[in-house]
Amino acid sequence: MKNILFLDIDGVLNSNFWNDSHQREISDGTLIDEEKIELLACLVKKTNAKIILHSGWRTWFDSELKPLRMEAAKLVELLAKEDLHIDGFTPDLTTEEIRKTKKFSLVKAEEILLWLKSHNDVKGWVVLDDLDLHNIEIEQHQVKPDQTIGLTLADVEKAVKILLG
């Protein structure tokens, strides 16, 4: 039995705090806040959770979790500094319309639940995502960082309680 951490990136490992002076880095995905990675590491180490990517960033990896883009390679590099790695990703149920309108929150809950249905060895799970995922079951397991700040110590503590009870 294992603990699972469903991880979104934007609004969790980066934030709107950087928008004014780093707009280009945010839009091309290269600005990940290393302090947020350290907080993530604290959560993973306390709970022994496996990281499952449920961010749009998952499309920047191949089926063997190898980065396809510079942004994904940077994320992998920063995670590795804290001895972390991505263990998998949720299925992609987005449509062309969802991608155009960037309304990913409409399918994220379904993607998570589908992943859980196909993995029966899950003990506990938590979702780190700044978006409302429109699902009561997910809501009970979600920690929703403020996208203007990103992941905080309080978010980590809440996630630990969800995973460890």
CA 143 to chain centre: 11
Q: What does the alpha-carbon distance between residue 130 and residue 104 come to, in Å, rounded to a whole number?
A: 12
Query: What pLDDT was estimated at residue 88?
Result: 96
Query: What pLDDT was estimated at residue 30?
Result: 57
Query: What pLDDT was estimated at residue 27?
Result: 45
Q: How many CB atoms lie within 10 A of CB 13?
A: 26
Query: What pLDDT was estimated at residue 108?
Result: 94
In the chain, domain spans = 2-164
**Residues of the chain predicted below pLDDT 70:** 16-30
Query: What pLDDT was estimated at residue 22?
Result: 52
Query: What pLDDT was estimated at residue 17?
Result: 58
2-164: which CATH topology?
Rossmann fold (3.40.50)
Which contiguous run of DSSP H or E holds residue 22? helix 19-27
pLDDT in tens, 65-83: 999 998 899 999 999 999 9
DSSP category for residue 123: E
Q: What does the alpha-carbon distance between residue 85 and residue 76 come to, in Å, rounded to a whole number?
A: 7
